[in-house]
Amino acid sequence: MTIALPADDIRAAASVDRSIRLITAGAASGQTCAPELAKGPWEFDAGTVGYGPGSSMGDVIPAGSPRQGALPREYREAGDDELRQRIRAAKATLGDRVLVLGHFYQRDEVIEHADFTGDSFQLANAAKGRPDAEAIVFCGVHFMAETADLLSTARQAVILPNLAAGCSMADMADESSVEECWEQLEEVYGDLTATDASGRVPVIPVTYMNSSAALKGFVGRHGGIVCTSSNARTVLEWAFERGQRVLFFPDQHLGRNTAKAMGVPLERMPMWNPRRAFGGSTPAELDEARVILWHGFCSVHKRFTVDQIARARAEHPGVTVIVHPECPMPVVDAADAAGSTDFIVKAIQAAPPGSTFAIGTEINLVQRLAAEYPQHSIFCLDPVVCPCSTMYRIHPGYLAWVLEELVAGRIVNRITVPDTVADPARLALERMLAAKPPASPPTAPAGA
Ligand code: 13P
Ligand code: SF4
C-alpha cells in the first residue's frame, strides 16, 4: 500500500532522486508514478519506446525523435561521489571556457554544478550574456538548447548532455502540422497578409518558447512572435494590435488561461486538433475566434487537479496555492495565483516567515524550494512524485561525460539550428524582447 502525501522523511531527503530511491527501496513511505525512475536514464537510451518514465510516459513520441547513443560504461558505473568529483575537476580545468546552465526542473545533483539556474527565458539570456564562453552546456531540454544556440554567437557550441531530453509538449506541434493548419486557415480567412480597415491581418501566429526552433522560424516568417509563461499577456496584446485573432501553439492551457484573464470569452477560443479537418472547428467558430488554441499540453502540469487544491486548503488552513499557467484552467481558477517558475520562486522569497505554500509545478523545483526555505512550509499539490520524463534524462553521468570530452578537446551532443531557420526564429524572439506592456492609464491627480 502506498501513502498519498509525501512523509516528512521524504521531504527531509530534499533531492527528488533520493526520495525516489527511498520509496522504491521501501525505505520511505510515499508514491512515485514510475519506480523505473530509480534507475539511471541510460537504461532508457536504447530500445525504449516513448519518452521513458515520468510524467510524459503516456504521451506518443514522434517517429525520428533524437535518441542518445550509449553513455560510456565508466559514467554509467560511477557512483554519485565519483561523478561529483569528476564534474568539479573538469569544470575547474575548463574555467571560463565553459558555462553550465541548469533549468529549475533539473535534479539537485545536476543543479549543484550549474553556474546559473533559472527559467527557460532567463537561461537563454544567460547564454547571451557570456559570449566569452566557448561551450554552453545546457542542462534542460532540447528547445531550450536551440534557443541558447539562436542567442549565442556562432563561435559558441551549445551542448545538450542527453539528446533524448526533448519535451513532449513541444513535440505536440510539428512544423508540417502547423503549415497544414496555416493553409486551412487561408481557406477560411482568405489572403492571410491582407489587412482590414484598422490595419490588422486575419491571424497572427504566436508560439510558446516551449517549441522547436523550426516553429519559431515559422512564426518569424509569418509576422508572428514567441512568448514565455511570464510575458504571454504582453505578447497577446502585441498580437491583437496587429491581428484580428491569434493562432496559439503548442500549449492550449497557457493560451486559454492568458486570454481568459484578458477577458476573451471561452466560446471565442476554439481548439485546433491537428488530426481533424479545420482543427475540428466549424467555419463559424473560426470566424468568431479571437484565439485558436492548438491541442497541446504539458503532462507535468496536467497532473494537477482542483481536488488536490481543495484537499490542500482543508488540511492546511491559510495555505497559499500557486500554480504554473501550463495547468488546466479550472486549476488556475481555483489557485490563489498562477505564474512562471520565476514568479513562483519570487513569491516564496517575498513571503513572511511561517507561510504555507502548495505549489503546482515540477517536483524538483518544489522540493528544492522546500529545502531552501525551511522558514516556510512548502509542498507539491500532487502527492505522487512524478518528475518531467525529459528533464530527468539529464543526469550527472552525462554531464561528466560531455565536460570530460571538452577537456579532451572534443565537442559531443552539439545542438545547432540551421541558418535558414535561425534567421526568422531570431526575428520572432526579437519581436518578443521588444514587446512592451501597454502604458498604464494615467492616474488621476490627487483631489481631482
Ligand atoms: P518556464 O521555466 O519558462 O516557467 O517553463 C516551465 C516549463 O515547463 C519548462 O519546460
Ligand atoms: Fe516539456 Fe512540460 Fe517537461 Fe517543460 S515540464 S519540458 S513543458 S513536458
Domain CATH for 379:
3.40.50.10800
Pocket test for ligand 1, best of 144, 229, 359 (most atoms within 8 A of CB): 229
DSSP-assigned states of every residue in 259-301: HHHTT--GGG--EE-TTSGGGG--HHHHHH-SEEEES---TTG
Determine contact, residues 13/28, Cβ cutoff 8 Å. Answer: yes
What would the mean pLDDT of 399-413 be, rounded to a whole number? 98
Pick the atom of ligand 2 nearest to 251's CA. 7
Is the pLDDT confidence value at 147 over 80? yes
Which one of the ligands is nearest to 251 CA? 2
State the pLDDT at residue 121.
Answer: 81
Question: Residue 45 phi/psi, 5° resolution?
Answer: -65, -40
Q: Which of residues 308 and 129 earns the better pLDDT score? A: 308
Residues 6 or more apart whose Cβ sits within 8 Å of residue 427: 220
Final residue of a domain: which of 296, 316, 340? 296
Look at the alpha carbons of 316, 322, 323, 329 in this order and tell me if their dihedral is positive or negative.
Answer: positive
Amino acid 384 reads V
Residue ranges making up the domain that contains 15: 8-32+301-385
DSSP-assigned states of every residue in 77-114: H--HHHHHHHHHHHHHHHGGGEEEEEETTS-HHHHTT-
Q: Does one domain contain both 269 and 398?
A: no
Is the pLDDT confidence value at 417 over 50? yes
Is the pLDDT confidence value at 37 over 50? yes
Q: Extract long-range pairs of 334-340: CB within 8 Å, 24+ residues apart.
A: 334/306, 334/309, 334/310, 335/309, 335/360, 338/257, 339/229, 339/230, 340/119, 340/228, 340/229, 340/230
State the pLDDT at residue 47.
Answer: 72
Q: Does one domain contain both 331 and 397?
A: no
Ligand 1 close to Cβ of residue 120 (< 6 A)? yes
Pocket test for ligand 1, best of 340, 364, 389, 429 (most atoms within 8 A of CB): 340
State the pLDDT at residue 125.
Answer: 87
Final residue of a domain: which of 362, 385, 408? 385
Final residue of a domain: which of 237, 262, 296? 296
Q: Does one domain contain both 28 and 91?
A: no
From the CA of 390, how far away is ligand 2's center (Å)? 7
Q: Which of residues 56 and 64 earns the better pLDDT score? A: 56
pLDDT tens digit string along 264-302? 999 999 999 999 999 999 999 999 999 999 999 999 999
Is the pLDDT confidence value at 320 over 60? yes
Q: Does one domain contain both 312 and 377?
A: yes
Is the pLDDT confidence value at 442 over 70? no
Ligand 1 close to Cβ of residue 340 (< 6 A)? yes
Q: Does one domain contain both 180 and 165?
A: no
Q: Considering its fold, how many domains does the chain have in total?
A: 3
What would the mean pLDDT of 331-353 be, rounded to a whole number? 97
From the CA of 228, how far away is ligand 1's center (Å)? 8
Q: Does one domain contain both 102 and 44?
A: yes
Residues 6 or more apart whose Cβ sits within 8 Å of residue 23: 10, 29, 30, 31, 32, 35, 385
Q: Does one domain contain both 346 and 413?
A: no
Is the pLDDT confidence value at 179 over 80? yes
Determine contact, residues 431/225, Cβ cutoff 8 Å. Answer: yes
Q: Which of 335, 325, 391 is nearest to 361 (CA)?
A: 325
Ligand 2 close to Cβ of residue 391 (< 6 A)? yes
Q: Does one domain contain both 26 and 67?
A: no
1 located within any domain: no
State the pLDDT at residue 46.
Answer: 84
What would the mean pLDDT of 170-189 be, rounded to a whole number? 97
| Rounded distance between C-alpha atoms, residue 304 and residue 323, angstroms | 9
440 located within any domain: no
Q: Which of 45-49, 85-89, 317-321 has the lowest mean pLDDT?
A: 45-49
Pick the atom of ligand 2 nearest to 210's CA. 7
pLDDT category, 242, cuts 50, 70, 90? very high
pLDDT category, 14, cuts 50, 70, 90? confident
Residues 6 or more apart whose Cβ sits within 8 Å of residue 447: none
- Going by the DSSP 8-state scheme, the letter that residue 43 receives in this structure is G
Is the pLDDT confidence value at 447 over 90? no
Pocket test for ligand 1, best of 117, 120, 125 (most atoms within 8 A of CB): 120
Amino acid 72 reads P
Q: Which of 413, 402, 423, 387 is nearest to 37 (CA)?
A: 387
Q: Does one domain contain both 111 and 41?
A: yes
Pick the atom of ligand 1 nearest to 343's CA. 4
Pick the atom of ligand 2 nearest to 362's CA. 5
276 located within any domain: yes
45 located within any domain: yes
| Rounded distance between C-alpha atoms, residue 55 and residue 366, angstroms | 15
The per-residue pLDDT of the chain, averaged, comes to 93
CA distance from start to end of the chain: 67
Question: Residue 276 phi/psi, 5° resolution?
Answer: -120, 150
Q: Does one domain contain both 93 and 152?
A: yes
Pocket test for ligand 1, best of 341, 343, 344 (most atoms within 8 A of CB): 341
Q: Does one domain contain both 234 and 140?
A: no
Place of cell 533531492: 15
430 located within any domain: no
Ligand 2 close to Cβ of residue 388 (< 6 A)? yes
pLDDT category, 437, cuts 50, 70, 90? confident
Q: Does one domain contain both 370 and 266?
A: no
Measured by CA distance, the residue closest to atom 2 of ligand 2 is 298
85 located within any domain: yes
427 located within any domain: no
pTM of the model: 0.94
Which one of the ligands is nearest to 57 CA? 2
57 located within any domain: yes
Q: Which of 226, 256, 251, 252 is nearest to 239 (CA)?
A: 226
